[in-house]
Amino acid sequence: MAERSLFAILLRSRWWISFVIAIVLSLIASVMLPREFAVLAPSAGFPFFVIGVIAAWKQLRAPSPARVARAREVFVDMSWRDFSAAVEHAYKQQGYTVSRYATDAADFEITGSDGKSLVACKRWKAAGTGIEPLKALNAAAQKAAARPVYMTLGTLTAQARAYATDNNIVLLQDAELVGFVPKS
């Protein structure tokens, strides 16, 4: 699905917006259709209803802003050794086989039922990330026939984000990192 398509935008928006659109379209259809076809009016908004249900499901499962902020605080206070141990432990808990990948481009190689990935997370505290670390990760992932995964608490430049999208680099930021917080 194109990132700027109406349905993609609605999937990223609050769930109720899609429901409002579905209701409005159904009401317009009921007014505009001949009386004998008025029973079909709700079908005009059905695709938006489905998108609303999907958006609601995703938003229900997403961590709260407070939980994301707490995870961010925990990670900022960690040393590299503690952070890497937390990442390794979290991936093992999810059923992955984890091994250290000692290059500048990546930190871990994880293997699971969905294949092999190279994970770069050494710059997790960097305030901003440019395109160079992503290029290095992507080159290493291509060489290793693996999916590239990049973790950061900081922001990515517009060029870095575009590069990640164009090269199918999985970006783990904020809400995606909550699952990596060690259990106290």
pLDDT at 179: 77
The answer to whether residue 107 is domain-embedded is yes
Backbone φ and ψ for 116, nearest 5 degrees, come out as -110, 140
- By the 10 Å C-beta count (0-12 exposed, 13-18 middle, 19+ buried), 127 is classed as exposed
The answer to whether residue 34 is domain-embedded is yes
pLDDT at 92: 92
The answer to whether residue 1 is domain-embedded is no
The domain containing residue 98 runs over which residues?
65-180
The answer to whether residue 73 is domain-embedded is yes
162 and 125 share one domain: yes
Q: How many Å apart are CA 134 and CA 149, to the nearest integer?
A: 9
- CATH code of the domain containing 87: 3.40.1350.10
The structural domain count of the chain equals 2
127 and 37 share one domain: no
Q: Give the CA angle between residues 106, 144, 79 to the nearest 5°.
A: 15
72 and 146 share one domain: yes
Could you tell me the mean pLDDT of each successive run of 10 residues in the chain, 184 residues long? 80 91 93 87 92 90 79 84 90 91 87 92 84 93 93 90 92 82 70
Contact in structure between 148 and 133 (CB atoms under 8 Å):
no
From the list 88, 9, 85, the residue with the least C-alpha distance to 52 is: 9
The answer to whether residue 174 is domain-embedded is yes
Backbone φ and ψ for 79, nearest 5 degrees, come out as -85, 165
Question: Quick one: how far is CA 180 from the chain centroid?
Answer: 14
96 and 45 share one domain: no
